[in-house]
Amino acid sequence: MLQVASLLLRTGLYNQRHMENYADILTKSIGPNTIQSLLIAIITFIVVYIALTVFWKVLLKRLRIIAKKTKIKADDVVLDVLEGVGQLFYIAIALFVSVQSLALSPAIGTIIKAVFLIAVVSEVIKLADRVIHYSLVKGMQSKHKSMSADEEAKISGVFSIFIKFGLWSIGGLLILSNLGFNVTSLIAGLGIGGLAISLALQNVLGDMFSSLSIAVDKPFQEGDFIVVGDNKGTVKHVGIKTTRLEALEGEEIVISNTELTTARVQNYRKLKKRRVVFTVGVEYGTPTEKLKKIPGIIKQCIANAGKTEFDRCHFVEFGDSNLNYEIVYYIESKEYIDYVDAQQKMNISILDEFAKEGIEMAFPTQTIHVVK
């Protein structure tokens, strides 16, 4: 019994000495913090990180079940954003919570706080951006039901630039304010700088807003044949800053969107039939009987051209060297090639019929009287 008691006594003393050694180790300092406080911070970080991950997944699973029972798509958009929350967000929160019990230098404390604020603000901005973007797109779809997917993407892309810029500007100011910076003077400086930048980028920003106006108002679309001033061609691409046309000769014409929104644009896309006006001149010596036949001849030539509708033909004026007839007809096609084909067929037919009737086309002449 004495041996057992002695063994137990020695074991207890051994364990006590080890516990005292462990306690001594935990009370040792690494920098301004003890090993014990560092271990507590590490355990807190792990626990908070795991708890956040599990809680977030369970919460999103429950919310997804609820969202499936609703017909509103907005909740699905919000859940898609929440499911996209990255690991940096969990790590930033766990790190921020775990270091609260530690004595940190001001620089390290500021860095950790900045990481935490950036992670939180970025996720909030991501959520706000998606919700605002979804609301704008839904609003445009309700007002412009014929909007295509490409137009929707183009408009949302322009809006997204300004939305993100605005949200990050606000978020950046909030982060700096929480880090102790004086944002009042910064806002004043940004106001002056923003004014200078806006003046420097006036044309670029004007073109961007003009592209937005074109996308919403849709004065023309890709594939339309338009005339802008002296330029005409088929719209090949409507960009954020410029619009590109393919001219009839084949070259590419680049026009700024600002110019397109301020200029008069003729669009032939909705043209169901084209009105054509042209003039035919005959010689002054043409007999009256033949002059009276010309409207009927022209009418028949127009009818034979195909896809055409005769409107009128009148003897309108005495020219310098010809008697002029104004002819108006419609071609029932918006395609330019159909127009030139019909006009060509008509011109040849008029020449043939005039030749049969002995009617001479006029050409510039000048009579000179010589006085002896």
Give Cα 78 distance to the centre of its chain: 22
| Comparison of pLDDT for 137 and 193, the residue scoring more | 137
The pLDDT value recorded for residue 104 is 65
CB 26 within 8 A of CB 32: no
> Which of 246, 267, 288 marks a domain boundary?
267
Least confident of 7-21, 70-84, 90-104, 265-279: 7-21
Sign for the pseudo-dihedral over CA of 151, 154, 156, 162: negative
SS (H, E, C) 138-194: HHHHHHCCCCCHHHHHHHHHHHHHHHHHHHHHHHHHHHHHHCCCCHHHHHHHHHHHH
Task: Give the least confident one: 153-157, 177-181, 310-314, 340-344.
Answer: 153-157
Which DSSP symbol is given to 362? P
Residue 147 CB partners (closer than 8 Å, separation 6+): 140, 141, 155
**pLDDT for res 371:** 64
- Cα(353)–Cα(362) distance, integer angstroms: 15
Residues 311, 247 share a domain: no
What tokens appear for 123 in the block? 């996720």
Question: Is 263 found in the same domain as 282?
Answer: no
Calpha distance 359→301 (Å, rounded)? 15
State whether 278 and 350 are in the same domain: yes
On whether the CB atoms of residues 325 and 298 are closer than 8 A, the answer is yes
Same domain, 261 and 281: no
- 279 pLDDT higher than 60: yes
- Per-residue pLDDT of 87-130, as tens digits, reads 777 777 777 777 777 766 677 777 777 777 777 777 777 777 77
Q: Are residues 279 and 332 in the same domain?
A: yes
Q: Is residue 294 part of a domain?
A: yes
Pair (295, 256) in one structural domain: no
Q: Are residues 288 and 258 in the same domain?
A: no
Question: What pLDDT, on a 0 to 100 scale, did the predictor assign at position 348?
Answer: 93
Q: 181-195, 215-229, 335-349: which has the minimum mean pLDDT?
A: 181-195
Domain that holds residue 218: 210-267
Residue 158 lies in a domain: no
Looking at the domain assignment, is residue 144 inside a domain? no
Query: CB of 273 within 8 A of CB of 331?
Result: yes
Summarize the confidence of residues 73-84 as an average pLDDT.
66
Query: When comparing pLDDT for 328 and 217, which is higher?
Result: 328
Clarify whether residues 282 and 349 are in a common domain. yes
Mean pLDDT, rounded, for 306-324: 90
Cβ atoms of 153 and 133 closer than 8 Å:
no
Give the domain CATH number at 321. 3.30.70.100
The strand pair at 274-282 and 308-318 is best described as unpaired
Q: Kindly state the percentage of the chain with pLDDT values over 70.
A: 66
194 assigned to some structural domain: no
**Tokens of residue 3, six digits:** 């041996």
Question: Is residue 104 in a domain?
Answer: no
Per-residue pLDDT tens digits for 146-197: 556 665 666 666 666 777 777 777 777 777 777 676 666 666 655 555 555 5
**Which structure tokens are listed for 132?**
């605002």
Say which residues have a Cβ less than 8 Å from residue 98's Cβ, sequence separation at least 6: 41, 42, 44, 45, 48
Residues 6+ apart with CB under 8 A from 268: 224, 225, 226, 227, 274, 334, 336
Q: What is the CATH number of the domain that holds 238?
A: 2.30.30.60
Residue 299 located in a structural domain: yes
307/284 same-domain check: yes
pTM of the model: 0.45
For residue 226, give both structure tokens.
């338009």
| Residue 343 counted as domain residue | yes
- 227 and 293: one domain? no
Residues 255 and 293 in one domain: no
Report whether pLDDT(2) > 50.
no
* Domain tally, the chain: 3
Residue 303 Cα to chain centre, angstroms: 48
Q: Are residues 261 and 279 in the same domain?
A: no
155 found inside a domain: no
Residue at a domain's end among 226, 242, 267:
267
